[in-house]
Amino acid sequence: MDPYLEDDPLWPLFHQELLTSLDESLRPGIAGRYHCKVAHRHYRTEQASDVSERPADRREPYLQIIAPGDGKLITHIDLVSPGNKTTAPGREAYLATRSEAKAQKANLIEIDLVLQGRPMLDYSRDGLPNWDYAVTVTRMVQPDRFEIYTSTLEKKLPRFRLPLARSDRDLVVDLQAVLASTYDRAAFGSRIDYRREPGVPLSAETRQWLDNLLQDKGVRPPGYTGATHGADSAESLSHERIATAAYYLWQQAGCPPGRAEEYWYKAVEQLKEQTGMQPEKE
């Protein structure tokens, strides 16, 4: 997982694209038996965005696996956002969505790829290893039991078992493969300035590991101590500013899936017209 994706301008696009990739990976396994539906929850935070002084409206997608005959909700799949873990409205909206699915006696899948904030689910971690990321599965036949699949920042994301109806075998989901597809689809590598530090809490040991990794990949020069330019540069448009503008253009268009590149370039052109700046060079 990439901690830079937790940046507020990038996360909404990542959230949408990850669920699109997950949806595509699930379809072959449920074809002819179920269909996968994208739904959304809405809430408002007091945090102003970079392009507006008003409170930020959040629109977060989640997936539902539905039985085609009676429309019964079989499995609810949700991706935790930074807003869910760090704001009261976000937390309330997320838990309300989960409660609605639980009331329908659906299987519940929580995918938590967020380092910051407070965990959404309250269960004992005694005897469990430390982790950064987790997938928590709750089956409709055992609604008070959690199956937990974990990973750390240094390791690949886990494979997990996704339950369907009682008479069906579980699907095995390779979350690392889904992440790789998402990363390539939206070209996140070209959107992130890896020369700066991530905006999430990391231990000194983990920061050193991350610095070594980025240097090995050639995206951070050896001995680099911090970016010399920022979001308010008078000479160039930062990745963060472009991502924010792209997100709002995407929302205005109704959040169409699989069109990340299109709205990225629209945002670049729009900001260039407004400011006369050029995008930052890699």
189 pLDDT band, cuts 50/70/90, is confident
Integer Cα distance of 60 and 18 in angstroms: 12
Q: Could you give the C-alpha distances from 26 to 1, 78, 148, 166, in angstroms and in order?
A: 20, 14, 20, 18
Domain assignment of residue 12, yes or no: yes
Domain assignment of residue 252, yes or no: no
Give phi and psi for 225, each to the nearest 5: -115, 10
Domain assignment of residue 203, yes or no: no
Identify the pLDDT of residue 225.
Answer: 55
Can you give the CATH number for the domain in which 125 is found? Answer: 3.90.1570
Tell me the pLDDT tens digit for each residue of 195-216: 888 888 888 888 888 888 888 8
Integer Cα distance of 18 and 219 in angstroms: 23
Domain assignment of residue 265, yes or no: no
Q: Does 38 score more than 80 pLDDT?
A: yes
Task: State the pairing for strand pair 133-139/107-112.
Answer: antiparallel
Q: Which residue has the higher pLDDT, 215 or 99?
A: 99
Task: Say if residues 41 and 60 touch (Cβ distance below 8 Å).
Answer: yes
51 pLDDT band, cuts 50/70/90, is very low
52 pLDDT band, cuts 50/70/90, is very low
**Type of residue numbered 77:** I
Q: Does 53 score more than 70 pLDDT?
A: no
44 pLDDT band, cuts 50/70/90, is confident
Quick one: average pLDDT of 126-136? 89
Quick one: average pLDDT of 150-167? 94
* Domain extent at residue 153: 3-183
Q: Does 164 score more than 90 pLDDT?
A: yes
143 pLDDT band, cuts 50/70/90, is confident
Domain assignment of residue 58, yes or no: yes
Task: Say if residues 64 and 37 touch (Cβ distance below 8 Å).
Answer: yes
Identify the pLDDT of residue 127.
Answer: 80
Tell me the pLDDT tens digit for each residue of 217-251: 887 777 655 544 333 333 355 665 676 677 667 66
Domain assignment of residue 151, yes or no: yes
Task: Say if residues 140 and 156 touch (Cβ distance below 8 Å).
Answer: no
pTM for the structure as a whole:
0.77
Q: Count the domains in the chain.
A: 1
pLDDT cut 90: percent of the chain above it: 49
Domain assignment of residue 62, yes or no: yes
Run of H or E including 243: helix 239-252
